[in-house]
Chains A and B, each alone.
Chain A
């Protein structure tokens, strides 16, 4: 793990909650039901030319709108670098081109879906709209896509390329839902209490696009400070995860007692959650905790939503009434995201 202290100057978030406008988020609880949560999309006309809107797939529109909102909130016109994290890339256009290719037996195909199916489309379209010639990269490493993009952000900031516009984007599609359901990933029975949910099995699928303006300097009125991110790949034992968490917090000069809130990734899948639940009774014992995936749903770059939620709570020093009741002020938040027991990631953020 390397020191990577940086500031989250602003954010823009499109998710299954009313997150694009944080005032609405505080007032309005989005009732979540079903085995997938769909992002609440804004009127794109305020962000994108109407001719372009028609040609863009959902993930591209969500990404562009989140990025532009983030820049506006941060009062920055041109980022020094642009990093996009996506595990699945542009699934809608990929499925579309694949289906037509098979149906029409490789004949008479239109290029539009193919053109927009490449994983770097979101980052490319943002650059195109901003006329931004600066450093541009797309990281596509499954459940560590966003974490690896943050590591790169830290190095870009060291090199003086900030502020970095950093995003996490993944979309759900009918095909993704159908395929991953067959893997047994998602719940079959529907309860209306997804947000509270404890007693059900299977995840809720999710999606979202969130962008952050990351900088070495706090700038004017930052949201929060990100101290470090760490990934743990295929830990041999549950103890290894516990030990890594304690070391992670201590290396950053804190003790577990100083963590005011843990954002966890419980998502309702019993098998998958066993690791998480054990942690609540061990290293996280006595610390208020909340599962962010009940708001965002499960997808490989969902930790982006957790980072947004954590930063917002630290900035506002209050939580929406509908969400949970914990005592503020809170100085430090730990995020523990994981998928099954193969990909764990840790984030430490604090109030500025």
Chain B
């Protein structure tokens, strides 16, 4: 990692806040975003808690100037992406190349669900406007057009590690000199499709989730969008700006074990974390904080914990899963947690793993349960593991 990749700005919208500042305040105050379903219309409304962005589509449309008829994923994506550019002070500059690499898993599924209801009875029925943005790539294009970023635009979809891989892709392009700036991250809104899908797998907790707890019962789904503006050395110099942090390592590996389950030993997780450390040149002992994938399912937390135990024992960094705040935001989770990792470096804080009462007995480490302040955080490892065995780890460091 000889060529530095800086983070010039970031933006986020999640269940714990509509912008960066509010997210930080909620993290410090230990205020979860998980609660009763309000905006999503589902048969499971009273039974399954979720972590919703606290805005209607109409109010998201108003914030952005986009149409309220667009998929919700496009609307939250636009909010967070625009904040990241503003936070960085980025302005369109024709002599510098800017890319937009965004991840999502649901595309315009919220609208497709509405379309399919009349369509399955009569395939001449259903409003076409509801399926025109169905594709994952269509969401990215809508936002790229909105931001007028066209030098390179792409969409990544590797289930729950999607936006970690989008960040990875942008960082690689900057290192290769193909882009000066890369707006990278992801977005996913809640849909009945994903809610019911995870429900059939019987991995949804009917109470707010408890990652890495001995008595954990599963995950809660969430929604959100988050973006980082990555900059090359040249880009950051032109901006005349002090970077927020830098990306110092990344790796992608495949568990190659099962379509949805992680291998018991966490092979993919181990390889991703080990690979990220190798690419950064850091030793395990130099990591100050791990932002865990920590979904709260039996399987994930066991596999991830086993891999951490193997890689870091006997001395462990501080760690926590912030999914107890935001729920599992699927394709956005890697980016949401990248933002929290960088906030941790910026503010010298370790955010708590909410609701952890009894740490898993298999491990000799324990996640942090209260917000630690005035803590020197130089290097953060952030994990994102997904269906299909797609495992990615990123390392963020103080610039």
A binds B: yes
Contact yes or no, B154 A141, CB < 8 A: yes
Does B64 interact with chain A (Cβ within 8 Å)?
Answer: no
Contact yes or no, B116 A140, CB < 8 A: no
Contact yes or no, B259 A140, CB < 8 A: no
The interface residues of chain A lying within 8 Å CB-to-CB of B150 are 233-234
The interface residues of chain B lying within 8 Å CB-to-CB of A136 are 158, 252-254, 388-390
Contact yes or no, A182 B128, CB < 8 A: yes
The interface residues of chain A lying within 8 Å CB-to-CB of B113 are 98, 101-102
- Given the known A-B contacts A102-B120, A158-B176, are A140 and B137 also in contact in the complex, defined by CB atoms under 8 Å? yes
Encoded as 1 (CB less than 8 Å from any A CB) or 0, chain B from 220 to 239 comes to: 00000000000000000000
Encoded as 1 (CB less than 8 Å from any B CB) or 0, chain A from 144 to 160 comes to: 11001001100100110
Contact yes or no, A106 B192, CB < 8 A: yes
Size of the chain B interface, CB-CB below 8 angstroms: 60
Does A179 interact with chain B (Cβ within 8 Å)?
Answer: yes
Contact of A140 among B136, B153, B197, B389 (CB under 8 A): B136
A144 CB → nearest B CB, Å: 7
The interface residues of chain A lying within 8 Å CB-to-CB of B254 are 82, 124, 127, 132-136
Contact yes or no, B157 A124, CB < 8 A: no
Give complex CA distance A205, B112 in Å: 21
Contact yes or no, A133 B155, CB < 8 A: no
Give complex CA distance A99, B118 in Å: 11
Shortest Cβ distance from A181 into B: residue: B123
Does A138 interact with chain B (Cβ within 8 Å)?
Answer: yes
Size of the chain A interface, CB-CB below 8 angstroms: 59
Does B387 interact with chain A (Cβ within 8 Å)?
Answer: yes
- Given the known A-B contacts A98-B112, A178-B123, are A138 and B389 also in contact in the complex, defined by CB atoms under 8 Å? no
Does B87 interact with chain A (Cβ within 8 Å)?
Answer: no
Shortest Cβ distance from B202 into A: residue: A111
Does A326 interact with chain B (Cβ within 8 Å)?
Answer: no
Give complex CA distance A18, B390 in Å: 33
Does A119 interact with chain B (Cβ within 8 Å)?
Answer: yes
Give complex CA distance A234, B149 in Å: 12
Contact of A145 among B120, B137, B159, B178 (CB under 8 A): B137
B100 CB → nearest A CB, Å: 11
Contact yes or no, A137 B271, CB < 8 A: no
Give complex CA distance A19, B375 in Å: 61
Shortest Cβ distance from A109 into B: residue: B200
The interface residues of chain B lying within 8 Å CB-to-CB of A127 are 254, 256, 388-389
Shortest Cβ distance from B151 into A: residue: A233
Contact yes or no, B197 A117, CB < 8 A: yes
Give complex CA distance A327, B255 in Å: 49
Contact yes or no, A135 B259, CB < 8 A: no
Give complex CA distance A103, B128 in Å: 20
Interface locus among B165-173, B295-303, B335-343, B348-356: B165-173
Contact of A114 among B155, B201, B386 (CB under 8 A): B201
A235 CB → nearest B CB, Å: 11
Shortest Cβ distance from B177 into A: residue: A2
Contact yes or no, B117 A102, CB < 8 A: yes
The interface residues of chain B lying within 8 Å CB-to-CB of A172 are none
Shortest Cβ distance from A149 into B: residue: B154
Does A89 interact with chain B (Cβ within 8 Å)?
Answer: yes
Shortest Cβ distance from A131 into B: residue: B256
Contact yes or no, A106 B44, CB < 8 A: yes
Contact yes or no, A133 B178, CB < 8 A: no
Give complex CA distance A125, B258 in Å: 8
Give complex CA distance A2, B199 in Å: 45
The interface residues of chain B lying within 8 Å CB-to-CB of A152 are 169, 172
Give complex CA distance A114, B155 in Å: 21
Contact yes or no, A99 B193, CB < 8 A: no
Contact yes or no, B389 A183, CB < 8 A: no
Encoded as 1 (CB less than 8 Å from any A CB) or 0, chain B from 102 to 116 comes to: 000100000011001
- Given the known A-B contacts A89-B136, A110-B200, A141-B140, are A133 and B157 also in contact in the complex, defined by CB atoms under 8 Å? no
A108 CB → nearest B CB, Å: 9
Between A and B, 28 residue pairs with Cβ closer than 8 Å are A89-B136, A98-B113, A102-B120, A106-B192, A107-B43, A111-B201, A114-B196, A114-B200, A115-B197, A115-B201, A115-B260, A119-B158, A120-B386, A124-B254, A124-B388, A124-B390, A128-B259, A128-B389, A133-B255, A134-B253, A136-B252, A138-B157, A138-B390, A140-B155, A142-B135, A144-B153, A155-B172, A233-B153
